[in-house]
Structure 1
């Protein structure tokens, strides 16, 4: 059912310091931009929530938080609001949790356009609806011009891990198969092009998407699934290194099996970047026992978020914590942890 349209209360077209002052202007901003869209349950300073999943014996509560400062705040394939929802949903999902509720806090720069905020909030609600989660509480603060970059968003998420589910990197064993759900590096390349600093023209769009439905499909098809990790900042290389170290195994991937767009390869070649370290916002890597690898791959490819899924490598007996890649020329290359960041402000 569509929500009734309320008369506009905000005056002008930009946020002023009065909108953070605690009075009527602040209430008008919160109600017209945020609560009219998110429709949180109640008007108290906390959300009061219940769910049947919380009462199941053996279930665990999962809780995560993240902040988003992406520049620019809007880009092909998404915006800072969509990333905030997807990032928090995915942080819960890769740990095996079923996401239920999110909070959203906004740091808004004086002079930020109301229309930008409206687009961001609408994007957040659309992604929350798609992921099956509710944005139930939040906060706003307004800071002086120059103290932020239009808007920063912090989201926290709560979910429930069903009894008996245990997804964590320490579970990975030698011989387990590594899979990714889609192409690599699209988000990092998109943000680089969207900034306009290097006159790049490309049709690449961010892979920003929620992955909880994909995780549920994989776990149903491959109940022995060991672990999953979203390949965000630091890209696939950093995710694999973290997992290898936590499990005390080696990981070997094949360059020929890595799903990469020609456009991303081209951007990386021109700028001297390594696509393995480019950020993703809707791509994960997971490990399953070899006997369940095909079932997991088929389950991923049957979902919208996993149509380009691929097997990329496997866990080995060692050396412990080392990630290597078989190159197209038949050699081996060490894939180390990223030092610093290839691109700042990508999420």
Structure 2
């Protein structure tokens, strides 16, 4: 079996179609400006559904699927310097609001990954929360993954929350192995040159208060996230997210304006081109959702992103205004 080479748009559509065929309502992406006053920007696919998870709003659908625009700036200095850090990204998600739980979520994720996207099962490794014997057993006994390819991880890696308080729960992640020839003897999921985590299944069943206490939610929910850019890297067989068809056209245009060849550029120049490719997407989507540059809040984030685009343009020899061209 070989993975199917798909465009970013095709990956997005196949994901949504897969879950629509399994009785999930396809919902549009929410704005990057969230209704939740505790966060500046939409940072995860689950954020628009947070009131439903907490029982503060009634559910309109028992199941939903989305491709959610997200922005995170906590790792902004790593953008362009690693294969996968971004400020703007799309999170493909499927959600269950008190409907199905672990067995179905895991089975759906496996079928989507191996059948729809054609990822070879022997290239996939999964992680579970160290205390989650149920998820471990489902992967081993129902899906058929060998026990040595199911890694038990601690709370830092496999207990997910959108912030210090709010809905949370143990999670199970699916990783793609770029170098299976290295064998199964010493699987280290922290080795991001070998493994990429592309699908996170969160078993959203608790509410965490300010003191860190966990209270069971009224319903056991499912919240998942598949990074569109990461799946594109896998299926398009490129060395990093930036060289996928989702971002590289921006990089190519910026390189053309600067009169340089990306493929022949040194590492420093490539970093600047990647920063431009990433930040331009963030800037365009923030402006489209009504954010204006300012000195405070999300307006300051937008201003900072614009300044970084201009600065990295200068570093590669671009003078004058160029952002409208990329």
Range of TM-score over shorter length:
under 0.3
Determine which structure has greater relative contact order: mean sequence separation of CA pairs < 8 Å that are 6+ residues apart, divided by chain length. Answer: 1
Normalization by structure 1: what TM-score?
0.26
TM-score scaled to structure 2, two decimals? 0.27
Structure having the higher helix fraction is 2
